[in-house]
Amino acid sequence: MPIVKPMPALPRRAPVLASSQIEGFEHRRGWRRQANFWFAASLALYWCAALWIALDVGYFWGDALSRTQGALSALYSRNPTLSAIGYVFTPLTTVLQIPLVALSPWVPEFTRAGLAGALVSSVFMAASVRQLWLIASERNIRYWLAVVGLLLYALNPMIILYGATGMSEAPFIYATLWAVRRLIRWTSTDDVHDLITCGFALALAFLARYDALIMAFVAMWTVGFMTWRARYRRGFRDRIGFALVDMLLLVWPIGFAFVAWTGASWLTTGELFAQFTSTDGNAAIIAASGGGAIGPQALFDASVRTFLISPALLLVAVVAVFFAYRRRDPEPIIPLALIGSVVFFQIITYSLGSTFGLLRFFLTALPLTIILLFQIIPPRHRFPSLRPGACYRDRVTGKYVPKTITGVLVLAIFGGTGITLYGMSSANWAPQEYAIQELVFNMGSPSQDAVHTLNTFSTEMDVADFVDSLNLGDGEVLLSTTYGFAVLTASNNQKQFIIPSDEDFITTLNEPAEHGVKYILALPREGRGATDPINLRYPDMYETGSHIATMEIEFINQGQGQPNWRLYRVLTTPEQS
């Protein structure tokens, strides 16, 4: 008769009670109320900046307008469908704009001035301020340090700018801070609620930016190792099994989001990873621009941009790691692993020529610096927890760090803000930000180059106004969204355009006159224009009309890096070549 070994008893109870069962437990409700105040105050600031940039300055970012155009086409194009949002960008910022874009027939500024995206990014950036305050409150650091650290973050010019321009940085930073905060809690509570919530935050970060995939990968292995080590030190069996369970609990939300998004892309377009394989993706844009910088010089440039965002990062990280090692405090591991992996990933990908040298790509270095500043101070109480796990551990306490050290670090971060401002004044290091910096600090008199940058997409508005004035019917203008997204967001009549998301775009492109097309908007066949669908089908369209159209009017572009436009009238009978 076989011998059956009994299953070892599994530890089912935490060594401490849930905080809700402890009479008089300090929940720090005052700090939470103040978190809502910081959210409201920063939201007001970012909304004011958004309104100024959009309505007064009239400066727009291409990626932001492209997302707005996706939401606009999903509602008001000739073939309105959610697939019109496109699959190059992840969908979060586009989908959240849809309620505001739906109001654009009555409030055109939501699309024409890009306000829909700017208001969404303002909410997320204000929410990131709130998350930072909660991290400080749960650490229970000195109140003055929490306030100063939060102000250094919330008032940083890069944070204000990217809270006000509709880009993806704001939702990505918010979701990253949310994930970091909940995983910091988990290192002590071993609470499944913290672990799963972190997983959902990572999924939200992925829906904002692809960078979240590398962060989730690093977080998964960090959680697996910490679970294995905690159970090993307690002598628990099946350490690997529990580590795998915790890793799965963490990554299933982002895994589901990844499969759903890439699957939808594949079913709709035939491309699993449109960001990398589409003609509108990063790889194609970099190739069309002559290739990205690679090698030691690119590595140096990426490192400089990281330094410009947060000059004090290295100093604060060294001090935080030193005190964490002395206290045996594992909490600083989490921001270093998660946010540090994003910064490192951006540096490496730029040095390999796989991305652009834009200052905003390194923006996560700033919140990493502030979190590490908070974590130099030892915690003073346990986390509130609904269900502490079997591997619950008390937080490491210790003597307060001398005020001179924290004071020096605060001054270093404050001084670093000045360096950030200086970096933002350089067209080389900050090609998208320097024009705004000049406008503010030159008392409204920027240089000619800056004016040229500030006028980006102004010509596309003129194109849209001229086409609207023709009072055309549905589907009478053929337009590609390679550069035409800014024309679409500025137009009051979406149905007059035939765009690539329309079901009949290809057949109409092949025989425009037979399908009722009266005009074609063409751009030069150079740079990204070489991959434009209209230029691929009619290589001589911009120069000659390809014998199917005659030029009606030309628009010389006043914007930085934007092409000239030509409006061609389609011939009823094609010319003989």
pLDDT at 93: 94
Give the pLDDT confidence of 397-431 residue by residue, as tens digits: 877 788 899 999 999 999 999 999 999 988 889 88
Is residue 385 predicted with pLDDT exceeding 50? yes
pLDDT at position 85 is: 86
Portion of the chain with pLDDT greater than 90, in percent: 64
- Indicate the SS3 state at residue 569: strand
Euclidean distance between the first and the last CA atom of the chain, given in angstroms as a whole number: 93
Q: Is the pLDDT of residue 152 over 60?
A: yes
pLDDT of residue 402: 85
Give the pLDDT confidence score for residue 355 in this predicted structure.
Answer: 78
pLDDT of residue 298: 86
Mean pLDDT of 352-359: 81
HSE-CB at 349 with a 13 A cutoff on CA atoms is 19
Q: Does residue 520 carry a pLDDT above 60?
A: yes
Structure confidence by residue, pLDDT tens digits, 553-563? 999 998 888 89
At 117 the pLDDT is 95
Reply yes or no on whether the pLDDT at 5 is more than 80: no
pLDDT for position 14: 73
Q: Return the higher-pLDDT residue of 254 and 141.
A: 254
The predicted-structure confidence for 425-473, as pLDDT tens digits, reads as follows 888 898 888 888 888 887 667 788 888 888 889 999 999 999 999 999 9
Interacting residues of 6 by C-beta distance below 8 A, sequence separation 6+: none
Q: How confident is the model at residue 43 (pLDDT cuts 50, 70, 90)?
A: very high
Structure-block tokens of residue 482: 């390679």
- Dump pLDDT digits (tens) for 256-287: 999 999 998 888 877 777 766 666 666 666 66
Cβ neighbors of 480 (< 8 A, separation 6 or more) are 499, 500, 521, 532, 533, 534
- The pTM of this model reads 0.93
Exposure string for 439-457, b = 16+ CB within 10 A, e = fewer: beeeeeebeeebebbbbbb
Q: How far apart are CA 361 and CA 104, in angstroms?
A: 30
Interatomic CA distance for residues 471 and 465, integer angstroms: 11
* DSSP helix/strand/coil, 477: strand
**3-class state of residue 566 by DSSP:** strand
Cα within 13 Å of Cα(232), Cβ side: 8
Residue 32 pLDDT level (bands cut at 50, 70, 90): confident
User: What are the helix (H) ranges across 352-480?
Assistant: 365-375, 403-424, 434-441, 448-454, 458-469
pLDDT bin (cut points 50, 70, 90) of residue 288 is low
pLDDT at res. 6 = 55
> Domains in the chain, ordered, with CATH?
28-46+119-439 (no CATH), 458-570 (3.40.190)
The answer, yes or no, to whether residue 118 has pLDDT greater than 50, is yes
Average pLDDT, integer, range 321-328? 92
Query: For the residues 179-195, what does the mean pLDDT come to?
Result: 94
pLDDT band at 575 (very low <50, low <70, confident <90, very high): low
Q: Is 270 left (phi over 0), alpha (psi -120 to 50) or beta?
A: left
Sheet containing 565-570, strands listed edge to edge, beginning at the edge strand earlier in sequence: 497-498, 477-478, 519-522, 565-570, 549-555
Separation of alpha carbons 264 and 270, rounded Å? 9
> Is 113:64 a contact under the CB 8 Å cutoff?
no
CB 489 within 8 A of CB 76: no
Q: Taking 50 as the threshold, does the pLDDT of residue 569 lie above it?
A: yes
Give residue 2's pLDDT. 54
Do β-strands 497-498 and 565-570 pair in parallel, antiparallel, or remain unpaired?
A: unpaired
Name the token pair of 519: 């005009």
d(CA 362, CA 80): 36
Q: How distant, in Å, are the alpha carbons of 141, 144, 340, 548 from that of 149?
A: 11, 8, 19, 62
Per residue in 56-80, pLDDT (tens digit) is: 998 989 889 999 999 999 999 998 9
How far is 301 from 473, CA to CA, in rounded Å? Answer: 50
pLDDT reported for residue 444 = 65
Predicted pLDDT at 3: 58
Q: Take residue 275 and report the two structure tokens written for it.
A: 């960001």
Give the residue-averaged pLDDT of 85-112.
Answer: 92
* Long-range residue pairs from 362-365, CB within 8 A, at least 24 positions apart, any chain: 362/302, 362/305, 362/306, 362/308, 362/309, 363/158, 363/159, 363/162, 363/169, 363/173, 363/309, 364/172, 364/173, 364/176, 364/339, 365/306, 365/309, 365/310, 365/313, 365/339
Nearest to 483 by CA among 502, 469, 465, 463: 463
Q: Name the percent of the chain lying above pLDDT 70.
A: 92
Q: Position of tokens 């409006």?
A: 567
pLDDT: which is higher, 531 or 93: 93
pLDDT band at 1 (very low <50, low <70, confident <90, very high): very low
Q: What is the pLDDT of residues 332-345, one digit of tens each?
A: 999 999 999 999 99
CA 182 to chain CA mean position, Å? 20
Backbone dihedral region for residue 114 (phi beyond 0: left; psi -120 to 50: alpha; all else: beta): left
